[in-house]
Chains A and B, each alone.
Chain A
Amino acid sequence: MAITQLITHPGEFAATVIAPFLHGILTGNLGLSETTYHVITAFLMANVMAIFVSLSAFWMIYMERKVCARFQNRVGPNRVGPKGLLQTIADAVKLLQKEDLIPRGADRAVFILAPFVAFAPVYMVLAVIPFDKGLSVTDLNLGMLYITAVSGMGVLSIVMAGWSSNNKYSLLGGLRSAAQLVSYELSPALVVLSVVLFTGTLSTQGIVEAQANNWNLFAMGPMGLVGLMIYLTASTAEINRAPFDMPEAESELTAGFSTEYSGMRFSFFYLAEFINMFIISALLATMFLGGWQPLAMKIPYTETVLHFGGFIPGWLLFMLKTYAVIFVIMWFRWTFPRVRVDQLMKLEWKILLPISFVNLICVAVFMALNWGPK
Chain B
Amino acid sequence: MFSYFKAIFSAIFSLLGGMAITIREFFSPDVTLQYPDQRWRMHQRFRGRVDMPLDPASGAHKCTLCMMCVRACPNASLEIVQTKGADGKSRILDKYIYKLSTCTLCELCVEACNFDAIRMSQEYEMSTYDRQNLTLILNEPSAPLATTALPASRS
B85 interface hit (Cβ, 8 Å)? no
List residues 21-72 of chain A with CB under 8 A from any CB of chain B: 67, 70-72
Q: Write the chain B residue with the least CB distance to A355.
A: B8
Q: How many residues of B contact A (CB 8 A)?
A: 16
B125 interface hit (Cβ, 8 Å)? no
> Chain B's nearest CB lies how many Å from the CB of A222?
13
The stretch from A118-126, A205-213, A330-338 touching chain B is A330-338
Q: Which residues of A contact B26 (CB under 8 A)?
A: 67, 70-71, 331
Given the interface pairs A335-B18, A336-B18, the reply to whether A74 lies near B30 with Cβ below 8 Å is: yes
A16 interface hit (Cβ, 8 Å)? no
Q: Which residues of A contact B21 (CB under 8 A)?
A: 335
Q: Write the chain B residue with the least CB distance to A354.
A: B4
Q: Which residues of B contact A335 (CB under 8 A)?
A: 15, 18-19, 21-22
CB pair A334 B22 closer than 8 Å: yes
CB pair B25 A72 closer than 8 Å: yes
B142 interface hit (Cβ, 8 Å)? no
List residues 1-33 of chain B with CB under 8 A from any CB of chain A: 8, 12, 15, 18-19, 21-23, 25-26, 28-32
CB pair A71 B22 closer than 8 Å: yes
Q: Digit string of B16-54 for contact with A (CB within 8 Å is 1, else 0)?
A: 001101110110111110100000000000000000000
Q: How many residues of A contact B (CB 8 A)?
A: 15
Which one, A74, A229, A351, contacts B32 given CB within 8 A? A74
CB pair A351 B25 closer than 8 Å: no
Which one, A70, A73, A331, contacts B19 given CB within 8 A? A331
A149 interface hit (Cβ, 8 Å)? no
List residues 59-111 of chain A with CB under 8 A from any CB of chain B: 67, 70-75, 78
Given the interface pairs A78-B34, A336-B15, the reply to whether A73 lies near B28 with Cβ below 8 Å is: yes
> Chain A's nearest CB lies how many Å from the CB of B75?
39
Q: Which residues of A contact B31 (CB under 8 A)?
A: 73-74
Given the interface pairs A336-B15, A336-B18, A351-B8, the reply to whether A331 lies near B23 with Cβ below 8 Å is: yes
Q: Which residues of A contact B23 (CB under 8 A)?
A: 331
User: Could you tell me the distance between the alpha carbons of A335 and B16 in the complex, rounded to whole angstroms?
Assistant: 10
Q: Which residues of B contact A229 (CB under 8 A)?
A: 12
Q: Which residues of B contact A331 (CB under 8 A)?
A: 19, 22-23, 26
List residues 49-83 of chain B with CB under 8 A from any CB of chain A: none
CB pair B25 A73 closer than 8 Å: yes
Given the interface pairs A336-B15, A351-B8, the reply to whether A73 lies near B22 with Cβ below 8 Å is: no
Given the interface pairs A336-B15, A351-B8, the reply to whether A75 lies near B34 with Cβ below 8 Å is: yes
Q: Write the chain A residue with the least CB distance to B18.
A: A335
> Chain B's nearest CB lies how many Å from the CB of A258?
27
CB pair B30 A75 closer than 8 Å: yes
Q: Which residues of A contact B25 (CB under 8 A)?
A: 70-73
Q: Which residues of A contact B8 (CB under 8 A)?
A: 351
List residues 197-242 of chain A with CB under 8 A from any CB of chain B: 229
User: Could you tell me the distance between the alpha carbons of A318 and B30 in the complex, rounded to whole angstroms?
Assistant: 31
> Chain B's nearest CB lies how many Å from the CB of A313?
28
User: Could you tell me the distance between the alpha carbons of A67 and B32 in the complex, rounded to whole angstroms?
Assistant: 15
Q: Digit string of A331-374 for contact with B (CB within 8 Å is 1, else 0)?
A: 11011100000000000000100000000000000000000000
CB pair B22 A75 closer than 8 Å: no
CB pair A73 B29 closer than 8 Å: yes
Q: Which residues of A contact B30 (CB under 8 A)?
A: 73-75
User: Could you tell me the distance between the alpha carbons of A72 and B12 in the complex, rounded to whole angstroms?
Assistant: 23
User: Could you tell me the distance between the alpha carbons of A334 and B21 in the complex, rounded to whole angstroms?
Assistant: 11
Q: Which of B23, B26, B29, B31 has the most CB of A within 10 A?
A: B26
User: Could you tell me the distance between the alpha carbons of A7 and B8 in the complex, rounded to whole angstroms?
Assistant: 45
User: Could you tell me the distance between the alpha carbons of A182 and B34 in the complex, rounded to whole angstroms?
Assistant: 45
Q: Write the chain A residue with the least CB distance to B29.
A: A73
12 contacts between A and B (CB under 8 A): A71-B26, A73-B31, A73-B32, A74-B32, A75-B30, A75-B34, A78-B34, A331-B22, A332-B19, A335-B15, A335-B19, A335-B22
Given contacts A70-B25, A70-B26, A71-B25, 7 further A-B contacts (CB under 8 A): A73-B32, A75-B30, A75-B34, A78-B34, A331-B23, A335-B21, A335-B22
Name A's B-contacting residues (CB within 8 A): 67, 70-75, 78, 229, 331-332, 334-336, 351
Give me the 10 closest cross-chain CB pairs, A-B, nearest first: A335-B22, A73-B31, A74-B32, A70-B26, A335-B18, A335-B19, A71-B26, A71-B22, A75-B30, A73-B30
